[in-house]
A = this chain, B = another copy of it.
Amino acid sequence: MPRTRRHQGNCSPGCAVEATLQLIDGKWKGVILYHLLEGTLRFNEIRRRLTSVTQRMLTTQLRELESDGLIARKVYAQVPPKVEYSLTERGRSLKPVISALKAWGDLHAGSADDVEVAA
């Protein structure tokens, strides 16, 4: 797992935008972060909130978020395994970003139709 994903060689002013985007892309990252804003969740709790995500994908995304320092993974040594995921400080600092995404999505939900109607 080369953790490469999208080289960000260029660093024009837009670089910061790109850099942030890298952390929350990946089909599930954004939503995972969003749900974790509510608090700590276990693996299957997250999974239930994300209808139609495979364990493989969920695991992958969680691992990436973890190695990006956005979430923390706490494993309890139990017979029925229990793993909790929570946001780190760095992760929590993304809240305004996630909120902005959520807010926009709520307002401008759906396709680009309303634009043409409004125009």
Our pick among B18, B49, B97 for the contact of A14 (Cβ within 8 Å) is B49
Looking at the assembled complex, report how far the CB atom of A98 sits from the nearest CB atom of chain B, in whole angstroms: 6
* Contact residues, A87-113 vs B (CB, 8 A): 88-90, 93-94, 96-109, 111-112
Copies per complex of this chain: 2
Q: A52-B10, A112-B67 are in contact. Are A16 and B97 (CB under 8 A)?
A: no
How far is it, in angstroms, between the C-alpha of A103 and the C-alpha of B100 when the chains are bound? Answer: 12
Q: Are A115 and B89 in contact, CB atoms less than 8 angstroms apart?
A: yes
B-binding residues in A (CB < 8 A): 6, 9-10, 12-21, 24-25, 27, 30-31, 34-35, 49-52, 67-70, 88-90, 93-94, 96-109, 111-112, 115-116, 118-119
